[in-house]
Amino acid sequence: MRVLVVEDELRLAENVARSLRESAGYAVDIAADGQEGLFLAESNPYDVVLLDLMLPKLDGMELLGRIRQSGQHTPVLVLTARDDKESVVALLNAGADDYLTKPFDLGELLARTKALIRRGKGQPSPVVVIGDLELNTVNRTVQRGGKAITLTAMEYRVLEYLVHRPRAVVSKTELLEHLYDYNWEKFSNVIEVYISGLRRKLNQGSSRQLIRTLRGQGYMLQD
């Protein structure tokens, strides 16, 4: 999963980004002003956007309006300061999905971010079940047929993305764009390695292949 953080307080933005990377395994891009935020939001497929309101160049409310006018459904969590003039009602009416008042607890931010990503992908439960595969997004564990499977951090991230797009053809580019930050093109050769590692681990003790390769198109997770 890939998150955009639009926040001009650099220290806060970096704390949030570190927490998302380390505790959730998400890729994170940071924009330090509203214009950069809008540019990134329009040019990349984020799974969620964390948006400060008081921003240089283009304020958060304006940015939110522009994203929604362009028809983007990406969930947006607004970070509000106590003295922000916008009311919660105005925020929600402008297309925000949730909000959090500063100063906030990073654990709460993480939980709300995960919940928004899940809902954005039509998977409200934190435990995703596909056939005999079970993926727990809270403690990042995987089981197949009731048996725990140990994955590397990147294998888990690939599988987490695929289980949120079940029975869909997911191209290598889509995976790269959602698993890495703006540097994603540098990693284009590694996806096959993670997929083959995942296949080997998921198939222990089971003959049914969960991840199909569609030549020239991508991958499909199905039970």
> Where on the chain is the footprint of Ca ion (CB under 5 A)?
8, 52, 54
Least distance CB 81 / Ca ion (angstroms): 7
Residue with smaller CB distance to Ca ion, 52 or 181 = 52
Cβ-based neighbour number of residue 105 at 10 Å: 9
Least distance CB 57 / Ca ion (angstroms): 12
Least distance CB 9 / Ca ion (angstroms): 6
Six token digits for residue 219: 């991958």
Residue with smaller CB distance to Ca ion, 8 or 29 = 8
Residue with smaller CB distance to Ca ion, 11 or 215 = 11
**Cα distance between residue 133 and residue 92, in whole Å:** 36
DSSP string, 136-198: ETTTTEEEETTEEE---HHHHHHHHHHHTSTTS-B-HHHHHHHHS-TTGGGGTTTHHHHHHHH
Least distance CB 47 / Ca ion (angstroms): 23
Cβ partners under 8 Å of residue 146, min gap 6: 132
Residue with smaller CB distance to Ca ion, 102 or 172 = 102
Contact yes or no for 41/75 (Cβ under 8 A):
no
